[in-house]
Structure 1
Amino acid sequence: MKLLLTQDALVNAGAERSHLEILYRFSQDIEVTVVYFYPKHELKEAYEKADIRLIFLDIPESYHFVKAITKLVRLIKQEKPDLLISCLWRADIITRMASLLTRVPLVGTLVNDSYAPIAWKDKHGLKYKLVYWLDRLTAEIPIHWIANAQALADSHVKTLGIAKEKISVVYRGRPVPAQSRPHKTEPIKHFISFGRLLERKGFQDAIEAFAQILPSNPDCTLTIFGEGPFRKQLETKINSLGLSNSVFLPGKIADPMKVLLRGYSPEATVNGQQSTDNCPPFTDHCSLFTPDCFLFPSWYEGFSGALVEAMMAGMPIIASDIPMNLEAVNDQESALIYPVGNSQVLAQKIAWLQSDPQLAKTMGQRARIIALERFTIETIAQTYEQILHRIFDFRTKKSLKVV
């Protein structure tokens, strides 16, 4: 079976990283080519190292849909794939049009709950309404969908009108680390999170929670690894609350699992450089930092790979109660859960965990067991491949009957 998988770009983000991990583990029965449109190449070297064929269509940043569709149609006619797969909004729209024009069947993916009511809190204006309607009006084109959470499947049945029977759920997976993190006997005081610096990630809620706990826990720290357009607002909040010595935004980190297992040191890669030059004035903090708990305050998500990584590492977790998180962890068993957007309750959960180190240890151990049972990347890749084979076999048999 020959596949063309399209995505917006090769940024180092959840969906792109997940494709890298999954495609690398496909059997030789599937010949995969990844096509990307826009000039962001952060994961190019990693894809090439994994021997995944890449084709860059060199579309100017932003949209340029007509040019992108024209180039993709030409490529499809040259490559003659059996199936197309698309991921992320721009690639979805481009590939749906190309599928319609070439009659090559398309499998869509659902990786974010972009149209849930809470998602519209950080989306304003006519642009987002046009985005939604273009998505909805073309959602009938894919012959099947793969969602990375059941909550995403249920949500898009309502918001895009997709038929339930056309959706399969395959969770995000991650490689299994060789060992879990050692459980410290010292008090819990260093908290971390990962993700793009976007309003919807809820990092502002975590910062506000820290402002509430610091008077009684002045040696606590929160480090948020990632980069994005919401950085300035987060920095303003940190400074306005007087948290510049306690809350840190060092930038991107190349290997989140390494940080979860062994902490953060000057040798770790930040923003693609092998130094701490990109995180002053936090150099001393960065060199001493070892994590005790993973915070995940997101307002809405797909199924978070970062959450799975924290589970794999055996890290105690405090997470918002969005449905995708609740498909992975249970309150007071494998994580502490709080109402999304409620910084006051989040502060209470942090204080509770600090007062009960044994609970933290037990939850971390339980989270790792669950991750090993459900989210190992080998299992996820095998499930994904089986679904694609089933779709392809069904289409082949259907074509033979017509003939």
Structure 2
Amino acid sequence: MHFMLVLYAGDYRNAWYRIQAGKPSTWHGHSFMVERFTEMSKHHQVTVFTCKSEIAHEETLPDGCRVIEAGLADPVKQHRELVAKVAAQKPTHLMVRAPMMSILRWASHQKDLRTIAALANSYHQNTWRERLKNWRTAQLFNHPQIEWVFNHNINSSYSLQKIGVNPAKIIPWDWPQTWSNRESKPFPPCSETQPWTMFYVGSVIPEKGVGDGINAVAKLRQAGINLQFKIAGKGNLDLFKQQAASLGISDAVTFLGLIPNFEVIDAMAAADLVLISSRHNYPEGFPFTINQALLSRTPIIASDHPMFEGILQHRESAMIFPAGDGEAIARCAQALITSPSLYTSLSQNSQAAWEFLQVPVRWGDVIERWLADSPGDRQWLADHSLQSGRYQARIARLSPL
């Protein structure tokens, strides 16, 4: 057996060496991937293939896992070269961990190659171009050579069904996690010398609503409320520094840069509010920041992104605002700042909200069950498909097909 995982981007090699050196991983999923592939490499040939990278590089890690970086700047445009590189490895089992359609099209014609897609993507039907693209995507995912389509959590999986993918092939998955048993948070003792703080973590780009958060800080200052906004992540920092300066609130916005994944929940817990502000045009799957924010017990202000639908309930587990609306973010923050009962109830409700959004299929289950391929394993996968009826309570909260 030659199992090959195809990633769009990332640096698995660096993650492996960091973990072996006892350093914290920079992304939540790295430790689970390293653990799984190290174990698999004892019995099978394992290759982790990254499509987009600055240089072309191949290396066999000390645990036996082969790492290949394709060295492609634009894997979508360089699809012929990409497919040739994948085909040259001659895998027997292929797991495509991104919607790399050129690879999946190639795989659909390889009769001796078993293939699954494991995604974290959402699909929208707002324009005729999107509808045409989605129709082609559904046709490919429904191809019999693509055995299963795993997507991150319920909402993104349901979006696949909405574009026409057979729900019997769709299985929602998530990373392993446990409830952290933090105490719920009391109303913060804020003052002029100890202002409120709002925390954001993620890509620092317009589509993630970072600028909307900065606009909210400016609106709150006009209302006499001092809110400090802490932004963690990388992206176009200069753009947002200029925005803060033009609004006269540079002193209220702090750019932290990248922070280790293990620090995120503590940073959220140290803040008074957590902002999750993705705009509708950002293709969210299921952002792990929602899990992290609930685990931190800090009240959440979240956009009404379609992939957040049914996960968080307004004024029960979060404050929900129309995506892209900085004034609405400010109103949500002001409601929490002026209502101790609302603030404490959102923190207290976070555990029930976290438990409701959990799904039973974890990262390791996806690979283990599919590769084992016994009748019992195939039945287990079918029993966890979107068609199984297992997720009806969650799906009932979503917009109908």
Which category of TM-score, normalised to the shorter sequence, fits these structures? Answer: 0.7 to 0.9
Residues 311 and 368 in structure 1, CA contact (< 8 A), matched pair in contact too:
yes
What is the one-letter code of the residue matched to 1:211? A
Q: Among 171, 176, 183, which residue is 2:174 paired with?
A: 171
Residues 93 and 138 in structure 1, CA contact (< 8 A), matched pair in contact too:
no
Number of the residue aligned with 1:240: 246
Q: Among 320, 324, 328, which residue is 1:337 paired with?
A: 320
Number of the residue aligned with 1:58: 70
Q: Which runs of 4+ in 1 moved over 6 A?
A: 128-134, 395-398
Residues 59 and 68 in structure 1, CA contact (< 8 A), matched pair in contact too:
no
Pair 1:321-2:331 in alignment: no
Q: Among 178, 195, 213, which residue is 1:206 paired with?
A: 213
What is the one-letter code of the residue matched to 1:309? Q
Secondary structure, aligned partner of 2:5: strand
Q: 1:170 to 1:129 in 2, by over 3 A?
A: closer
Pair 1:20-2:30 in alignment: yes
1:332 Cα deviation (Å)?
2.0
Number of the residue aligned with 2:119: 110
Number of the residue aligned with 2:366: 384
Q: 1:312 to 1:325 in 2, by over 3 A?
A: same
1:372 Cα deviation (Å)?
5.6
Q: 1:85 to 1:379 in 2, by over 3 A?
A: closer
Pair 1:190-2:193 in alignment: no
Q: Distance in 2 between matches of 1:383 and 1:370?
A: 24
Secondary structure, aligned partner of 1:103: coil
* Unmatched segments (≥5 aa) in structure 1: 121-125, 265-289, 399-403
Q: Distance in 2 between matches of 1:373 and 1:379?
A: 14
Pair 1:146-2:150 in alignment: yes
Number of the residue aligned with 2:52: 38
1:157 Cα deviation (Å)?
3.0
5 Å matches for 1:236-315? Answer: 236-255=242-261, 257-261=262-266, 290-300=270-280, 301-315=284-298
Q: How many residue pairs are counted as aligned between the two chains?
A: 350
Per-residue CA distance 1:305-340 (angstroms, 9 max, x = gap): 111111122221111122432343222222122222
Q: 1:195 to 1:116 in 2, by over 3 A?
A: farther
Q: Distance in 1 between matches of 2:94 and 2:36?
A: 16
5 Å matches for 1:115-134? Answer: 115-117=124-126
Number of the residue aligned with 2:399: none
Q: Distance in 2 between matches of 1:341 and 1:6?
A: 34
Q: 1:330 to 1:172 in 2, by over 3 A?
A: farther
Per-residue CA distance 1:183-224 (angstroms, 9 max, x = gap): 564137100111112332112222222221112344311112
* Unmatched segments (≥5 aa) in structure 2: 16-25, 380-401
Q: Distance in 2 between matches of 1:40 and 1:314?
A: 39
- What TM-score, normalized by structure 1, do the two folds share? 0.72
Residues 312 and 372 in structure 1, CA contact (< 8 A), matched pair in contact too:
no
Q: Distance in 2 between matches of 1:149 and 1:140?
A: 19
- What TM-score, normalized by structure 2, do the two folds share? 0.72
Pair 1:86-2:86 in alignment: no
Secondary structure, aligned partner of 1:238: helix
Q: 1:103 to 1:202 in 2, by over 3 A?
A: farther
1:174 Cα deviation (Å)?
4.1
1:358 Cα deviation (Å)?
4.0
Per-residue CA distance 1:145-196 (angstroms, 9 max, x = gap): 111132222323344x322221111235546557568656413710011111
1:19 Cα deviation (Å)?
4.3
Alignment root-mean-square deviation, CA: 4.1
Residues 202 and 298 in structure 1, CA contact (< 8 A), matched pair in contact too:
yes
Q: 1:299 to 1:97 in 2, by over 3 A?
A: same
Secondary structure, aligned partner of 1:186: coil
1:101 Cα deviation (Å)?
3.5
Number of the residue aligned with 1:269: none
Q: Distance in 2 between matches of 1:139 and 1:259?
A: 35
Number of the residue aligned with 1:273: none
Residues 49 and 69 in structure 2, CA contact (< 8 A), matched pair in contact too:
yes
Q: Among 340, 346, 350, which residue is 1:367 paired with?
A: 350
Per-residue CA distance 1:6-40 (angstroms, 9 max, x = gap): 11121699xx9454244356595786542212226
Q: 1:327 to 1:85 in 2, by over 3 A?
A: farther
What is the one-letter code of the residue matched to 2:287? S
What is the one-letter code of the residue matched to 2:374? D
What is the one-letter code of the residue matched to 1:388? W
